[in-house]
């Protein structure tokens, strides 16, 4: 046979799957960071902000494992406790982490500027809005109602404790597709501020969009970002863009407010037979 024919989806975008902290709410992704710093301080182990942010995007127990695997943290833990951290230690830390995280989430439910306008435009386009997160369902039961009070209510939220595994596995994205009634996966876009967000979307066969200014990789609040000089801002953006593109992101934008133009480009590419 000289030719092989392959099916090609050429329809519209049907759904956007957003991350929560650092993407839709909590500019700079501070809620988990503050809690991890306090959690380790309570164990007489001092960690840096960079350590606390090192596993951002992962399910929070996996995030803890990532922090403890960092050489400087592993050494500090051994110094404080006389032995390396065990799985029992991780379980104990996680059990302490959950109530600490629950206690602060309402303070970090403010929508990032531009989000509500983007949501309105997605509704007008008849594009459904799903979400994935590193937060457990018990945490989302605190965060989501407060976000709703602030005007943000997606169609679907899937948490890592509701599927076989969290990021970078694609199961939360697949569950979003099921609950939203959307297929194929190339008609969906994953948006997030962390490298596991990008990997999650790629593993699910989706278009992926990374955010450079509002998320964990920069780790600044909006006021701090606005105080950056143009040169420092450009340097920071370029560094983060490189990380996200190297992770496989199809697009990198400053923040959620830039998403509509990206969606236009993806729809153009879909109409011409391209896929993610």
Catalytic residue list contains 234: no
- Residue 130 backbone phi and psi in degrees, to 5: -110, 170
Helix/strand/coil for 128: strand
Q: What sections of the chain are H helices per DSSP?
A: 30-41, 49-52, 60-69, 71-81, 87-104, 115-125, 137-149, 171-180, 195-203, 222-226, 230-246, 259-271
Write down the catalytic residue from 14, 19, 26, 197. Answer: 19
DSSP 213-268: SSSTTT---HHHHHTS-HHHHHHHHHHHHHHHHHTT-SEEESSGGGHHHHHHHHHH
Write down the catalytic residue from 26, 51, 60, 62. Answer: 60
Catalytic residue list contains 60: yes
Bridge partners, 211 (sequence order): 253
d(CA 254, CA 256): 7
Task: Give the catalytic positions in this structure.
Answer: 19, 60
């Amino acid at each position: 046979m000289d030719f092989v024919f392959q099916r090609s989806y050429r329809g519209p975008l049907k759904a956007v799957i957003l991350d929560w902290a650092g993407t839709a709410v909590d500019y700079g992704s501070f809620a988990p960071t503050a809690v991890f710093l306090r959690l380790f301080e309570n164990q007489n182990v001092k960690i840096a902000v960079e350590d606390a942010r090192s596993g951002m995007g992962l399910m929070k127990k996996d995030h803890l494992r990532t922090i403890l695997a960092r050489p400087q943290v592993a050494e500090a833990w051994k110094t404080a406790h006389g032995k390396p951290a065990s799985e029992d230690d991780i379980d104990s830390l996680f059990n302490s982490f959950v109530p600490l995280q629950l206690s602060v989430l309402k303070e970090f439910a403010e929508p990032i500027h531009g989000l509500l306008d983007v949501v309105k435009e997605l509704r007008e386009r008849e594009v459904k809005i799903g979400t994935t997160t590193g937060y457990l369902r018990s945490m989302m039961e605190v965060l989501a109602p407060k976000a709703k009070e602030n005007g943000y209510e997606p169609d679907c939220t899937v948490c890592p404790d509701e599927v076989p595994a969290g990021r970078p596995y694609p199961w939360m994205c697949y569950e979003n597709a099921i609950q939203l009634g959307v297929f194929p996966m190339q008609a969906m876009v994953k948006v997030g501020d962390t490298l596991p967000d990008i990997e999650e979307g790629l593993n699910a066969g989706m278009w992926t969009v990374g955010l450079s200014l509002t998320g964990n990789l920069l780790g600044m609040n909006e006021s701090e970002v606005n105080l950056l000089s143009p040169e420092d801002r450009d340097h920071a953006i370029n560094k983060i863009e490189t990380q996200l593109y190297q992770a496989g992101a199809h697009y990198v934008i400053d923040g959620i407010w830039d998403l509509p133009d990206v969606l236009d480009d993806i729809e153009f590419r879909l109409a011409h037979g391209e896929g993610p």
